[in-house]
Amino acid sequence: MVFASFVRNAEGIRTIKQVLGEEGSHIKIIAKIESQQGVDNADEIINESDGIMVARGDLGVELPVEKVILAQKMLVAKCNRMGKPVICATQMLESMTYKPRPTRAEVSDVANAVLDGADCVMLSGETAKGEYPYESLRMMHLICKEAETEKHYVRKMEELLKETRRPTSLERTIAIAACSAAVSCGAAAIICITQTGRSAALISYYSPPMPIFAVAQDERIARHLLLYRGVYPLHYPSSAPTVDWSADVDSRVSFGVSAAESFDFVKKGDPMIVVTGWRQGAGHTNTLRIIAAP
């Protein structure tokens, strides 16, 4: 991934893509919005990039400090609507650089980023040079976990469904069906067999209230999917050529189910949604099944 600082417009992202060329086309570009011009051109930057980082440190220098929170909420909401991952960063648990516990204001800050819809929250100096790196990471984990229990996923999913333009693409239709079926039957998890990560990202877009286990054979795709909220990417380690696609899919599904059970998200008999493709390769995701955890 490339994290581009002080991106002011879409042209900056296009320039980076030109420099990377065809050989670097797989590299994700995350635009750091750190200026008023970047905020003003947010739509075109989000559309051109693979994700956004709300870099609040420099943003607080470029903008009046009282306007940073509104810019943060606006950028997160836009990314949510456009289906692009958004990272909230800088001074999230700043006091833990030298102290073992955060301030109450910092706890609220992290929790509100989660409630607003941020896909990722990021520590900086707390872990890079701080005296309590492990404690900082653990505290952020606990805050995020607690905030997640209060998020109204189903309501958000219903709002996004209403806003979705029809007719939808095949992949988006399957993603909508998977989320709706998962909520309807109270599924414990969604297992998605993906080649490019696109299907898992689309399911994540609709914010289902259960984890999404994305099984990818390409380790690079699995790493990229870490950016998407609710997605647990799993690298399926298989180098042997696929002869029987149906048998290979079943093997990947079993791999995903085992992972879901190992994370204690799924218990025996729990319903699970499985999303797969009818044949090998990208762009063929069109199959949805409901299974019971063995």
Could you read off the pLDDT of 12-64 as tens digits, one per residue? 999 999 999 999 999 999 999 999 999 999 999 999 999 999 999 999 999 99
Which two tokens mark 237? 């380690």
Check pLDDT > 90 for residue 227. Answer: yes
What integer is the mean pLDDT of 193-219? Answer: 94
Residue 138 is predicted with a pLDDT of 97
Q: 135-142: which pairs have CB atoms within 8 A and are 24 or more residues apart? A: 135/96, 135/100, 136/93, 136/96, 136/97, 139/93, 139/96, 139/101, 139/102, 140/92, 140/93, 140/110
State the pLDDT at residue 68. 93
DSSP letter assigned to residue 50: S
Q: Is the pLDDT of residue 238 over 70?
A: yes
70-94 pLDDT tens trace: 999 999 999 999 999 999 999 999 9
Residue 210: CA count within 13 A, CB half-sphere: 26
Strand partners, 276: 287
For the chain, percent of residues with pLDDT exceeding 90: 81
Listed residue (179, 189, 109, 182) closest to 147, CA to CA: 109
What CA–CA distance (Å, rounded) separates 252 from 179? 20
**Was domain 153-292 assigned CATH 3.40.1380.20?**
yes
Which residues are CB-neighbours of 151 under 8 A, at least 6 positions away? 114, 115
Task: Match domain 2-149 to its CATH number in 3.90.1200.10, 3.40.250.10, 3.20.20.60, 3.40.50.720.
Answer: 3.20.20.60
Cβ neighbours for 248, distance < 8 A, ≥ 6 positions apart: 238, 242, 280
pLDDT score, position 242: 63
Domain extent listing, the chain: 2-149, 153-292
Q: What is the pLDDT of residues 247-268, one digit of tens each?
A: 888 999 999 999 999 999 999 9
The pLDDT value given to residue 37: 95
